[in-house]
Amino acid sequence: MKDVDLGAGSLWSAERATLRDLALLFLRLGLTAFGGPAAHIALMEQEVVRRRRWISSERFLDLLGAANLIPGPSSTELAIFVGYEKGGWFGLILGGVCFILPAALLVTALAWAYVQFGSLPKVSGIFYGIEPIVIAVIAQALWGLAPKAIKKSFWLGALGLMACLASANHADAAVVLLGSGMASMAERQVAKPGGAARAVLFAALARGGVPVAAPATGVALFAAFLKVGALVFGSGYVLLPFLRADLVERLHWLTERQLLDAVVIGQVTPGPVFTTATFIGYIIGGASGAVAATVGIFLPGFVLVAVTRPLLARVRESQLASAFLDGVNVAALALMAVVLVQLGRVALVDGTTVAMALGSVILLIRYRMNATWLVVAGAVVGAVVAACRT
């Protein structure tokens, strides 16, 4: 144990962590951390700051800020950062792999069951009941995040609307995200938001996605998910625009229903929401497809953490990096809003599902109910409805 001076005469005691300690902690979190990235981050803070005293709260916030600034799943990258902080290169690998692996194995098992039994009435009924809850959870995420993303300026709100139009016009999700980030940087630099936005987003609006079917080989799956892992900022739900644009519309590897069911699996299992990729990979390419998709989507996070950790101080102080992230965040929410509408058309098929979604939105926003309990309730309702119909 060593003491670290945090200034103002206070001392904070930093406990040592072995590689075995790191592995056991993140394996346990990967098995038990339900509730999405916010819950994962809270659990990590409780374990590594308060309980184990591995790092200070100030350093934890630094690492969290860096995880939010780079593409990829923020809670997984935070686990990788903590592992790197306490165990060097081996810790970096252990922190990430041990957090991802339990969820990936569980999702693979569920994907196998889905492929084998997903068409049975009772199983279909469970998904019928859960899908409206997932729509409500995405709506809640938008409700909570949108005001924070656009509160800095009217310009960011306008940028978000343009990103919505671009996405609705079938623009490539990566173009919309990067274009919005560049437009925000240009506005910060030259204080001419209108011209910068029109110049950057016009290209996104004009670039409609062209459906091009292609064989779903292991290499193709790896490349598709590597792109997503390298470009997606924000919550796990930002995955949806990328996956829908590439896998449903362009490549025709998935149906809308399969994508929505994949999101359901990501929601009801512990660990990273990005293990949705594992489920999709299995549906498309079996066990090897699951491995290819999982490695592809998580690999950029390991690389980016290794590259950015030495640059944390400079990146956090950069006004241009901050402006880019503002633009990317508001565009990510715009993409989520468009996909929410698109998936809502698939999930909300009758009065029952509409009522379930609306009721869940109220319970989530007004009463802050845990989404896990709503998912369980939705599964029960769906099973009962399916039983009554047979």
Reported as a pLDDT band with limits 50, 70 and 90, residue 212 is low
Write out the residue range of the structural domain in which residue 118 sits.
97-389
Are residue 14 and residue 78 in the same domain, yes or no? yes
Are residue 32 and residue 123 in the same domain, yes or no? no
Are residue 330 and residue 184 in the same domain, yes or no? yes
Are residue 301 and residue 376 in the same domain, yes or no? yes
Are residue 114 and residue 89 in the same domain, yes or no? no
Total domains, the chain: 2
Are residue 272 and residue 150 in the same domain, yes or no? yes
Q: What confidence tens digit (pLDDT) does each residue in 262-281 have?
A: 888 887 788 888 999 999 99
Residue 298 pLDDT greater than 90, yes or no: yes
Q: What pLDDT, on the 0 to 100 scale, is given for residue 191?
A: 52
Q: Chain-wide mean pLDDT for the chain?
A: 81
Average pLDDT of span 356-374: 87
For 342, residues 6+ apart whose C-beta sits below 8 A from its C-beta are 244, 256
Q: Which of 71, 96, 121 is the last residue of a domain?
A: 96
Are residue 91 and residue 101 in the same domain, yes or no? no
Taking the C-alpha atoms of residue 100 and residue 23, their distance in angstroms, rounded to an integer, is 11
Are residue 314 and residue 226 in the same domain, yes or no? yes
Q: What pLDDT, on the 0 to 100 scale, is given for residue 66?
A: 76
What percent of the chain shows pLDDT beyond 90? 27
C-alpha 259: how far from its chain's center? 14
Q: Which of 35, 64, 96 is the last residue of a domain?
A: 96
Q: What pLDDT, on the 0 to 100 scale, is given for residue 234?
A: 58
* Residue 117 burial (10 A CB sphere; 0-12, 13-18, 19+): exposed
Give the lowest-confidence range in 71-80, 115-124, 374-383.
Answer: 115-124
Are residue 35 and residue 181 in the same domain, yes or no? no
Helix, strand and coil in the chain, % to nearest 5: 80, 5, 15
CA angle 60, 64, 68 (to 5 degrees): 170
Q: What confidence tens digit (pLDDT) does each residue in 162-181 have?
A: 888 887 887 777 778 778 88
Residue 355 pLDDT greater than 60, yes or no: yes
Are residue 302 and residue 322 in the same domain, yes or no? yes
Are residue 66 and residue 146 in the same domain, yes or no? no
Q: Which amino acid is at 383?
A: A
Are residue 265 and residue 284 in the same domain, yes or no? yes
The model carries a pTM of 0.72
244 CB-side CA count, 13 A: 24
Q: Which of 67, 96, 125 is the last residue of a domain?
A: 96
Reported as a pLDDT band with limits 50, 70 and 90, residue 13 is very low
